[in-house]
Chains A and B, each alone.
Chain A
C-alpha cells in the first residue's frame, strides 16, 4: 500500500499554458482544481470503488510529463486521409495525448455549418455554446477524477451539428495516448441540434506497451447533448496499449423525442474504469446501450452504466456483454434510476458474463432505483462458462474445441457488433479473434 501522506498528488497552480483562454474557463479550471485538491481519495468501501483501487489513477505531478508523444505525429494525422478518401467518414480527428488536435473534414460537412474543431479554438469561436455546455454534465462535483480532468485538460474536441442537419457518414475521433510516464486528459463536447443526426466513433488507442516500462495515465471526459428529436449514435472503442491505466466518464443528456445509441466497446489497457451514462430529459426520449468488453491477460475492467429517467414517458435498454479469458477480471455495475415524477417509463437491463477459463472473475451489480409506480422495469444478469451442451453439439458436428469456442463467442458478441458500421465491425471482429487465438 502506498504511503498516502508521503506523496503529494495535489495539483498546484496550473501550468501557464492552461491559463490562456477566457476568464470563465480559467474560473472553471480553478473550481475543478480546488475540488480535486479538497476531495479525499475515494475509500474502497465506497460505491463504485469496491473493485478498483483509486490510487491506480493518481500520480505524482513530477513523475509524468505532459507532452510525451514520441511517435510520428504525421503518420497518425494521415491515417484519416485514407478513410476520408474512401468515403466512409465525413471527418477524421486525430487527438495526440489530449493536446495536439488536428481536424480533417469533407468540404460538404463544412458547407453545412457542422463544426468539428479543437476545443481550445471553439472556446473563442463558439463561445456561447461552449460556455453553456462544457462542464454541465461532468464537473468538479461529479468526482475527484472528473475534477482532475476538468482542471488539467489541455485540448479537446468540439462537435456541433446545427438543427435539422443530418451527418450521413460517421465522424471518427482517434485519441492516441502518449508514451510511458505520461498523462493525458482527453475531453469531448458534442452538441447535436434539433432534429439533427450524428454518428461518432470515439476511439482510444496507443500508450505504454507494458506497465514495466512505465505507466501511461489516461483520464477522459465526454459530454454529449442531444436536442429535441435528435438522433445520435456514439461508439466508444477503448483499445489502449497494455501499459495504460485508463479512466473515462461519459454523460449524455437527451431531450424530447431524441434517441441515443451508445456502444461502449473495451478491449485494452491494464486497468480500465469507464462510466457511461445517459439522462433522458424529455418525453419519448429513448436510450439504448449495447456494451461489450473482452478481457485477457491480467486486465482489469470496472464498468458502470447509468440510465437516468428524469422525465416521464421515456424508454431505455441496456445489454452489456462481458467475455473474459486468462486471468482477466471484470466488475459491472449498472444503475437504472427512475425519478419520482417520471411516470410511464420502461427500462430494461441485461448483463451477461462469459468466462472462457478458470482464473477469470466477473462481478455483476445491476441496480434499480425506482421512485414511482407507473413503470415497467426488469433486469437480468448471468455469469457462467460456455454452455458445455453447445460445445458438445458442435463437437458432434465435427467442430472441435478452439473452433467451437470461437463460434460460440462470435455468436455471443454478434448482436452487439451488428449495431456498428461494416468497416468498424470488421476491425472489432479482428480484435476479438486475435484475443481468442491468444488464449
Chain B
C-alpha cells in the first residue's frame, strides 16, 4: 500500500510539467504555404482560390466577411478577454503540406512525430473506424476503414467533401448555423478550412467511432475548421474530436463551426475532448438539428484553452426527438471556461437533458450559461437541467447563468444547480482510510466527473482521468 502511495506521489510530482512535454512541444515550421497576418477580402479570396472552390462558396465567404465586420463583439461573457483578441495579428491560413495523405508514412516526419506523440496512429489501430488529422488549416492525414467505405459512409475532410460532394454540401452548409448567427460563426464562414464532412447512409450503424484530431502548431495561428455531419434516416454514428496546441506567450484563436443534422430516427453522438494550451481562445459554435425520433448527444469536455465560449445546442424540430448534452469544464490557473448548453424545443413530445459539471481551481473561473427554450407548438415536452460546480481554492469562481423560456402548455422544465467545495467529511473519511489528502481529493474529483467519463470510450476516459490528475496536482493548501 505504502509503495503504491509513494509511486502515486511520484507520478503526481512528475505530472507538473506534463502539458509542456506531452502536448506543449512545437515543431520547426516548413510550411507549403503560410499567408500573411491579418484579415481582409484578399485573404478570403486567396483561401478560396487555393482550394479551387465553386463560385457559390466563394460568394458565401465574402458575404460572411462583411457580416463579420458588421457584427459587434459579444457584449456579454468575459468581455475583457474577448477585447484582447487582436484580429490583425492572426494568421488565417497556413497550409502545412501540399496534399493530404492516406498513409502515415507519407506524412512529413515532423508532423507524423507530432501525432505519434499524441497517440493518434495507435488509437486508430486499436478502436477507430476512421481518422482525420488536421494540422493548422488543413487535414494532413485522412483514412477510413475499407468496410465502412464500401457501405457508403462518407468521411472526408471538409475541403474534399466540398470537392467530391458539392451537392450535399451546398444543400446543408450553413443551414443549422447561418452566417449571421454570431460574429465568430461569420468569421469561420469567411475563412473556414479543414474540419470533417460525414454522411452516414440510411439505416447504417457505424459501430466504431470516427475521429478527428486538431492540432495548432504555429504562434498566432487561427484555426477555423468547419464540420458537417449528416446522419440519414435510422443511421447511427459516433464522432470524436480532440485538440491540443503548443504553449506560446501570445495567443492563438480557434473558432470552429459544427453543424449536425440527424434525420428521422437517427442517432449522432459527438464527443469533444478540448485540451488546447492555455494561450488559445476557443470560440466555437456547435449546433444540431434533430428530426422526428432522432437523438443527438453532445459529450463536451473542456479542460484547456484560456477562454472557451461554447454552448452546444440541439434544436428539436421533429416530434419525439431527444437531445442530451453532457458538459464538463475544468478551469485552472488564469482560465475561464464559459461553457454551457442550449436546447430548443420546436416540436411536440420532445425531451432533453442537460448535465453540466464544472470544477474551478486556483483562480480559474467556470461559468455555466444555458438556454432551455420551449416554443408554443412544442407541447408535452420535457427538459431537465442539472448543474454541479466544485470549487477548489480561495480564488476560484463559479457562475451559473441558466435561462429558461417556456412558451408552451403542458410542459415540464426542471433546473437544479449546486455549488460547493470538496466536502470535509468525504476528505476526512478517505484520509482516515490511509489516503493522502492529495489522493483523496483526486478520488473525489474523479467521482464528481464520473457521469461524464463513463460516457467516453475507455481510452479517452483513461486519458481524461490523467488530465484531471495533472490539473489537480498540488491542489492541497
Q: For the complex, is B205 an interface residue (Cβ under 8 Å from A)?
A: no
- The docked-state distance in angstroms from the alpha carbon of A355 to that of B404 is 14
Taking CB atoms, residues of chain A closer than 8 Å to B407 are 361
Shortest distance between the CB of A368 and any CB in chain B (Å) = 4
- The docked-state distance in angstroms from the alpha carbon of A381 to that of B399 is 16
Taking CB atoms, residues of chain A closer than 8 Å to B75 are 45-46
- The docked-state distance in angstroms from the alpha carbon of A94 to that of B407 is 40
- The docked-state distance in angstroms from the alpha carbon of A122 to that of B448 is 57
Taking CB atoms, residues of chain A closer than 8 Å to B398 are 368, 370
A interface, how many residues as a size bin? 35 or more
Q: For the complex, is B296 an interface residue (Cβ under 8 Å from A)?
A: no
Q: For the complex, is B418 an interface residue (Cβ under 8 Å from A)?
A: yes
- The docked-state distance in angstroms from the alpha carbon of A367 to that of B400 is 5
Taking CB atoms, residues of chain B closer than 8 Å to A369 are 397, 399
The answer on a CB contact under 8 Å between A372 and B415 is: no
Interface members, chain A 359-378 (any B CB < 8 Å): 359-378
The answer on a CB contact under 8 Å between B415 and A364 is: yes
Taking CB atoms, residues of chain A closer than 8 Å to B405 are 361, 363
- The docked-state distance in angstroms from the alpha carbon of A372 to that of B391 is 7
The answer on a CB contact under 8 Å between B397 and A375 is: no
Interface centre among A360, A365, A376 (most CB of B within 10 A): A365
Interface members, chain B 40-58 (any A CB < 8 Å): none
The answer on a CB contact under 8 Å between A368 and B400 is: yes
Instruction: Tell me which of A177-185, A243-251, A382-390 binds B.
Output: A382-390
Known: A378-B417, A383-B411. A373 touches B391 (CB 8 A): yes
- The docked-state distance in angstroms from the alpha carbon of A379 to that of B415 is 8
Q: For the complex, is B419 an interface residue (Cβ under 8 Å from A)?
A: yes
Shortest distance between the CB of A104 and any CB in chain B (Å) = 45
Q: For the complex, is B21 an interface residue (Cβ under 8 Å from A)?
A: no
Known: A357-B409, A378-B418. A365 touches B404 (CB 8 A): yes
Q: For the complex, is B148 an interface residue (Cβ under 8 Å from A)?
A: no
Taking CB atoms, residues of chain A closer than 8 Å to B76 are 47
- The docked-state distance in angstroms from the alpha carbon of A343 to that of B395 is 11
The answer on a CB contact under 8 Å between A385 and B399 is: no
Shortest distance between the CB of A303 and any CB in chain B (Å) = 14
The answer on a CB contact under 8 Å between A384 and B413 is: yes
Taking CB atoms, residues of chain A closer than 8 Å to B393 are 373
- The docked-state distance in angstroms from the alpha carbon of A374 to that of B389 is 13
The answer on a CB contact under 8 Å between A368 and B399 is: yes
The secondary-structure label for the interface of chain B is: strand
Shortest distance between the CB of A384 and any CB in chain B (Å) = 4
Taking CB atoms, residues of chain A closer than 8 Å to B399 are 367-370
Taking CB atoms, residues of chain B closer than 8 Å to A12 are none
The answer on a CB contact under 8 Å between A375 and B415 is: no
Taking CB atoms, residues of chain B closer than 8 Å to A40 are none
Q: For the complex, is B125 an interface residue (Cβ under 8 Å from A)?
A: no
The answer on a CB contact under 8 Å between B421 and A365 is: no
Q: For the complex, is A140 an interface residue (Cβ under 8 Å from B)?
A: no
- The docked-state distance in angstroms from the alpha carbon of A359 to that of B405 is 13
The answer on a CB contact under 8 Å between B414 and A381 is: yes
Shortest distance between the CB of B147 and any CB in chain A (Å) = 48
- The docked-state distance in angstroms from the alpha carbon of A383 to that of B409 is 10
Q: For the complex, is A380 an interface residue (Cβ under 8 Å from B)?
A: yes
Taking CB atoms, residues of chain A closer than 8 Å to B400 are 366-368, 379
- The docked-state distance in angstroms from the alpha carbon of A382 to that of B372 is 12
Closest-by-CB residue of A relative to B368 is A368
Q: Which of B392, B404, B409, B419 contacts A370 (CB 8 A)?
A: B419
Q: Which of B397, B411, B416, B419 contacts A380 (CB 8 A)?
A: B416
Q: How many cross-chain pairs have Cβ atoms below 8 Å apart between A and B?
A: 114
Per-residue CB proximity of A256-270 to B under 8 Å, as 1/0?
Answer: 000000000000000
Q: For the complex, is A62 an interface residue (Cβ under 8 Å from B)?
A: no
Q: For the complex, is B402 an interface residue (Cβ under 8 Å from A)?
A: yes
Q: For the complex, is B443 an interface residue (Cβ under 8 Å from A)?
A: no
- The docked-state distance in angstroms from the alpha carbon of A382 to that of B414 is 4
Taking CB atoms, residues of chain B closer than 8 Å to A358 are 379, 408-410
Known: A45-B75, A370-B389. A363 touches B406 (CB 8 A): yes
Shortest distance between the CB of A48 and any CB in chain B (Å) = 12
Shortest distance between the CB of A105 and any CB in chain B (Å) = 45
Closest-by-CB residue of A relative to B421 is A373
Q: For the complex, is A353 an interface residue (Cβ under 8 Å from B)?
A: yes
- The docked-state distance in angstroms from the alpha carbon of A81 to that of B459 is 78
Shortest distance between the CB of A360 and any CB in chain B (Å) = 8
Interface centre among A46, A368, A374, A377 (most CB of B within 10 A): A368
Known: A365-B404, A368-B400. A383 touches B412 (CB 8 A): yes
Q: Which of A373, A380, A384 contacts B417 (CB 8 A)?
A: A380
The answer on a CB contact under 8 Å between A370 and B397 is: yes
The answer on a CB contact under 8 Å between A365 and B394 is: no
Q: For the complex, is B401 an interface residue (Cβ under 8 Å from A)?
A: yes
Taking CB atoms, residues of chain A closer than 8 Å to B413 are 364, 381-384
- The docked-state distance in angstroms from the alpha carbon of A371 to that of B331 is 13
The answer on a CB contact under 8 Å between B391 and A381 is: no
Closest-by-CB residue of B relative to A358 is B409
Closest-by-CB residue of B relative to A337 is B399
Q: For the complex, is B420 an interface residue (Cβ under 8 Å from A)?
A: yes
Known: A355-B409, A361-B407, A375-B420. A380 touches B415 (CB 8 A): yes
Taking CB atoms, residues of chain A closer than 8 Å to B414 are 380-382
Q: For the complex, is B99 an interface residue (Cβ under 8 Å from A)?
A: no
Per-residue CB proximity of B378-398 to A under 8 Å, as 1/0?
Answer: 010000000001011111111
Known: A373-B394, A375-B391, A385-B410. A368 touches B404 (CB 8 A): no
Per-residue CB proximity of A343-359 to B under 8 Å, as 1/0?
Answer: 10000000001010111
Interface members, chain A 25-63 (any B CB < 8 Å): 45-47
Taking CB atoms, residues of chain A closer than 8 Å to B394 are 340, 343, 372-374
Taking CB atoms, residues of chain B closer than 8 Å to A380 are 414-417
Known: A382-B413, A382-B414, A383-B411. A373 touches B392 (CB 8 A): yes
The answer on a CB contact under 8 Å between B409 and A353 is: no
Shortest distance between the CB of B334 and any CB in chain A (Å) = 16
Q: For the complex, is B7 an interface residue (Cβ under 8 Å from A)?
A: no
Shortest distance between the CB of A371 and any CB in chain B (Å) = 5
The answer on a CB contact under 8 Å between A379 and B416 is: yes
The answer on a CB contact under 8 Å between B404 and A383 is: yes
- The docked-state distance in angstroms from the alpha carbon of A119 to that of B419 is 43
Closest-by-CB residue of A relative to B383 is A383
- The docked-state distance in angstroms from the alpha carbon of A380 to that of B404 is 12
- The docked-state distance in angstroms from the alpha carbon of A18 to that of B394 is 49
Q: For the complex, is B403 an interface residue (Cβ under 8 Å from A)?
A: yes
Taking CB atoms, residues of chain B closer than 8 Å to A367 are 399-402
- The docked-state distance in angstroms from the alpha carbon of A375 to that of B398 is 11
Shortest distance between the CB of B390 and any CB in chain A (Å) = 9
Shortest distance between the CB of B48 and any CB in chain A (Å) = 33
Known: A359-B409, A382-B413, A385-B410. A376 touches B420 (CB 8 A): yes
Shortest distance between the CB of B75 and any CB in chain A (Å) = 7
Closest-by-CB residue of B relative to A378 is B418
Taking CB atoms, residues of chain B closer than 8 Å to A47 are 76
Closest-by-CB residue of A relative to B361 is A373
Taking CB atoms, residues of chain B closer than 8 Å to A376 are 419-420
Closest-by-CB residue of A relative to B408 is A358
Taking CB atoms, residues of chain A closer than 8 Å to B402 are 364-367, 381
- The docked-state distance in angstroms from the alpha carbon of A374 to that of B397 is 11
- The docked-state distance in angstroms from the alpha carbon of A45 to that of B403 is 14
Taking CB atoms, residues of chain A closer than 8 Å to B411 are 383-385
- The docked-state distance in angstroms from the alpha carbon of A379 to that of B417 is 5
Closest-by-CB residue of B relative to A385 is B410
Taking CB atoms, residues of chain B closer than 8 Å to A365 are 401-404
Q: Which 6 A-B pairs have the closest CB atoms?
A: A358-B409, A373-B391, A368-B400, A384-B412, A373-B421, A381-B415
> What are 13 A-B contacts defined by CB distance under 8 Å?
A353-B406, A355-B409, A361-B407, A364-B402, A366-B415, A367-B401, A373-B394, A373-B421, A376-B419, A376-B420, A377-B420, A385-B411, A385-B412
* Chain B interfacial positions (CB closer than 8 Å to A): 75-76, 379, 389, 391-421
* Chain A interfacial positions (CB closer than 8 Å to B): 45-47, 340, 343, 353, 355, 357-385
Given contacts A368-B419, A382-B414, 6 further A-B contacts (CB under 8 A): A363-B405, A369-B397, A372-B395, A375-B420, A383-B406, A385-B411
